[in-house]
Structure 1
């Protein structure tokens, strides 16, 4: 995740939808809050502040079958864009 804005982010929560029956079983470099439906994870103490242009990487493992890439992602209620 990259802070593409012009304001420092202090504390973040990342959300994305997963298909019914899919459950996140592990999240790294973030704290898992909700493992299914609308999955949510928040910052850890060491990566809670993101200056403009700064990035943080995280990942997860899940069980179940996802039909494709989640339809949307948000950080602190701001809709995010994806980069290939």
Structure 2
């Protein structure tokens, strides 16, 4: 079942309530997201992206997942 950009943003907002979050994509499976959050300060890019993927709570896991691809940009403000 496809997922919507606002659903992805809601999932991210649960873990990053004060972040600047932008999610784009209209086909229900391929999206891009930018997450800017103070909690990323001192983390390298891999650590930041792992934190974001953890916030997606399995929506990208497996061949039949709701979210197939996410081009991700993360940074501290």
Higher helix share: 2
Normalised by the size of structure 1, how large is the TM-score? 0.33
Kindly name which structure, 1 or 2, has the bigger radius of gyration based on alpha carbons: 1
Higher strand share: 1
